[in-house]
Amino acid sequence: MANYAVATVIVLSIILIGLLLIRPSITAAQGGKIVAFIAFFILPIVATVLGASIHLENSKSTQFCLSCHVMGPYGKSLFRDDPTYVPAAHFQNNRIPKDQACFTCHTHYTMFGDLNSKMRGLQHLYAYYLKPIPNKVQLYKPFENRECLHCHAGARSFEETTPHKEMKEQLTDNQMSCLTCHNKIHDVANIDKAKQWKGPGT
């Protein structure tokens, strides 16, 4: 829908600019000057603002993240046929939206979290194209419990189960990482040996 809106703005702008190119005399009249201002100034700015927000939204998609081949094994790990692995269990049981699987856990749930994530994304591009890709891809910072608690805090399965109940404060204050116990994450080193789930959409 948003893509159509920006496409309409772009096409309208091109048509008006083309018209003014073919018939420059239009700009001699007052109305022509206004049309020129809209075509040369307003519409390109609107197209850029709308386009940038669409790009930001697109960059949250699983398909977008996995379009870099270095991310391929991480995508595969979502289909590991073992519910003890955190990403696979979340992805296969719809605990996270399938079309935003990476972003849902790897964003920062803070005021400018989305923007921060995108800035880190630009760092990824820099690393991908201009630096040698490391053998082991690592997070820039340790994974924050906040990203897990964004969904799990308040859920009965978290609040009323042992040992979450007993160590809630430690988890909330990030004194102890969720990953201390839930430590089966992507494990891409062994991904080719793992059994894969052949569910819908695989």
Partner 1 sequence: MTDDASRLQRKLKTAAYLLITGLVVEGISLYWSHPMSFLVFIVLGGILLTAGIVTYLIAIVTH
- State the minimum distance, in angstroms, from the CB of residue 94 to partner 1: 23
Residues in contact with 144: Cβ distance below 8 Å, sequence separation at least 6, in sequence order: 108, 174
- State the minimum distance, in angstroms, from the CB of residue 121 to partner 1: 7
- State the minimum distance, in angstroms, from the CB of residue 4 to partner 1: 10
Which of the residues 3 through 32 are near partner 1 (CB under 8 A)?
3, 6-7, 10, 13-14, 17-18, 20-21, 24, 27
Nearer to partner 1 by Cβ, of 68 and 176: the residue is 68
Nearest residue to 98 via CA among 66, 136, 123, 132: 66
- State the minimum distance, in angstroms, from the CB of residue 7 to partner 1: 6
Q: In the 8-state DSSP scheme, what is residue 80?
A: B
- Beta-carbon neighbour count of residue 69 at 10 Å? 9
Token code pair at residue 94: 């719809």
Distance between CA atoms of residues 101 and 85, nearest Å: 14
Nearer to partner 1 by Cβ, of 95 and 120: the residue is 120
- State the minimum distance, in angstroms, from the CB of residue 54 to partner 1: 6
Distance between CA atoms of residues 180 and 159, nearest Å: 18
126 CA to centre of own chain: 17
Q: Per-residue string for binding with partner 1, 39-78, x by CB under 8 A?
A: -xx--xx-xx--xx-xx--xx-x-xx--xx----------
Question: Candidates 104-112, 120-128, 155-163, 172-180 — which segment interacts with partner 1 by CB under 8 A?
Answer: 120-128
- When asked if residue 102 is in the footprint of partner 1 (CB under 8 A), the reply is no
The SS3 call for residue 144 is coil
The SS3 call for residue 196 is strand
Q: What share of the chain is helix, strand, coil (3-state, %, to 5)?
A: 60, 0, 35
Positions that interact with partner 1 (CB under 8 A): 3, 6-7, 10, 13-14, 17-18, 20-21, 24, 27, 36, 40-41, 44-45, 47-48, 51-52, 54-55, 58-59, 61, 63-64, 67-68, 121, 124-125, 128
